[in-house]
Amino acid sequence: MNATASASHAPWTGAASSQATRLEAIGGRYDPWLLGVSIALACFGVVMVASSSIAIGEGLGVGPFYFLERHVLFLAGGVALAAWAMRTELKLVEQYGQWLLLACFVLLLLVFVPGIGVSVNGARRWLNLGLANFQAVEAVKLLYIVWLASYLKRYSEDVTATWSAMLKPLGVAVLLVALLVLQPDFGSLSLILAITAGMLVLGGVNMPRMFGPVLVGLPLLAMIAIAEPYRMRRFTSFMDPWADPFDSGYQLTNALMAVGRGEWFGVGLGASVQKLAYLPEAHTDFILAVIAEELGFVGVCAVIAAYALLTGRAFWIGLKCVEMRRHFAGYCAFGIALWMALQSFVSIGVNLGLLPTKGLTLPLISSGGSSVLMSCAALGLLLRVSYELDRAQRQVARLRGEAVPAAAGAGSPPPPTAHPLPAAGKPARGSARLRPRTEPVAGQSPPVASSSLGLRKRT
């Protein structure tokens, strides 16, 4: 009996192993739309940093191409991080989800350590890495998104059903916000809270339960915003920047003049006047105003369309992953999409006078080493998600290609079409589970099984 079972399983074990090998050999491809728009935004950012930073470099005495060279250097580092992320299996990233949360708190605490943390303009947000300063919260955004994606996968059913599972990530976000308040960095803490709420909603949280934390959190956020006089001036000045154009409204008035001067098609690349020591942070926070002045309304619409394509494609990839029950990959895509959408929206809104001034850069376009590095790493992870999604779809398509032929009987799966039928004399697939057939002997009646409908054996 054992020999028969072993002999019957041997060919099919090899067939299953061969089939698994063929499935693992199937590769995927990176989403071409996502890859194309990311490269386009990065290349456009190099051009605009070069255009907007020449006068600033000359004014500071560091050379006209100082900021361009730094931007290209950090962009090269970001491309290396993106390439590493694109070649890293998501299951390996998911294994370190708990440690990534710990890394978030370590990074935000290191900025307060003397000798490591660096204070610039009264804010302690940077880490001294020797060659350059690194803004810790930029890395925290990505690490926190990956941790939250792993949490939502592990507790997907609890998040939709219990208060405790929903409040845990909100509590983690509040702790991160408390550290960001001490730096202070109101723009980043608002972004992290918004990403947390968005990922919880996309993760299937019970919406009525979200109203309670939101109703409690919004007044507290408003109190934090108006606690410092400079934040209060920012909130009031953007409503009427011309009331104090040489003090609290100085940045916004110059940005609006640049936007208005660009009209439909702009004054031409490199011909901006506001970037010549009039517009503060022309190569970082207010680079969109320079784009509006030099490329006009059409240029601004093209930038907005590029970010819309980037975030829309990321949401679509996340949705497809969730449909295929690849929840960790899907939630990572959702988190990165929310990050890029919200940060670009705030940066564009600030430049156009729709939102109060915040220190958030335009992803992939603004000059800023920390932002460029981590934006590239996030998009590399997003491209990896698209690769594994396409690979899974191809594997499913291969399996569906071995579907039951039309002539096969319903309910009895035939052997795979890629393998020949068993030779004569060999047991069919699954024969190890069947009773061995007993041939009748001359002069005897065939035995009747004990389960044969209660009929007695004839004598």
Residue 445 has pLDDT above 90, yes or no: no
Average pLDDT over residues 342-366: 91
The model's pLDDT over 35-57, given as tens digits with 9 standing for 90+, comes to 999 999 999 999 999 999 998 99
Task: Determine the straight-line distance between the first and last CA of the chain, rounded to whole angstroms.
Answer: 29
Question: Where in the chain are the domains?
Answer: 29-394
Q: What is the mean pLDDT of residues 411-434?
A: 40
Q: Which helix (H) or strand (E) element contains residue 118?
A: strand 117-120
| pLDDT value at residue 122 | 73
Weakest mean pLDDT among 164-173, 302-311, 420-429:
420-429
Q: What is the pLDDT of residue 18?
A: 58
In Å, the largest CA–CA distance within the chain is: 117
3-state secondary structure (DSSP) of residue 399: helix
What does the pLDDT look like over 177-196, one tens digit per residue?
999 988 888 889 889 999 99
What mean pLDDT value characterizes the chain?
A: 82
Q: Of the given ranges (255-264, 269-278, 439-448), which has the lowest mean pLDDT?
A: 439-448
Question: Looking at residue 15, what is its pLDDT?
Answer: 53
Assess whether pLDDT exceeds 80 at residue 426.
Answer: no
Residue range 418-424: average pLDDT? 41
Indicate the pLDDT class of residue 23, thresholds 50, 70 and 90: low
Tell me how far apart the alpha carbons of residues 284 and 360 are, in angstroms, rounded to a whole number.
Answer: 9
pLDDT of residue 224: 76
What six digits make up the tokens of 324? Answer: 């295929």
Question: Which of the pair, 185 or 330, is modelled with greater confidence?
Answer: 330
- Please report the pLDDT score of residue 148 as a whole number: 95
pLDDT at 156 over 90: no
- pLDDT tops 50 at residue 102: yes
- Name the band, by pLDDT with cuts 50, 70 and 90, for residue 88: very high
Q: Is the pLDDT of residue 380 over 70?
A: yes
Q: How far apart are CA 190 and CA 338, in angstroms?
A: 13
Question: Which H/E stretch holds residue 134?
Answer: strand 133-135
Triad 348, 350, 355: Cα angle to 5°: 115
Q: Are 291 and 303 in contact (CB under 8 A)?
A: yes
Query: Mean pLDDT highest for which of 3-17, 91-105, 323-337?
Result: 323-337
For the cut 50, the answer to whether the pLDDT of residue 408 exceeds it is no
pLDDT in tens, 337-346: 999 999 999 9
Backbone angles phi, psi at 12, to 5 degrees: -80, -30
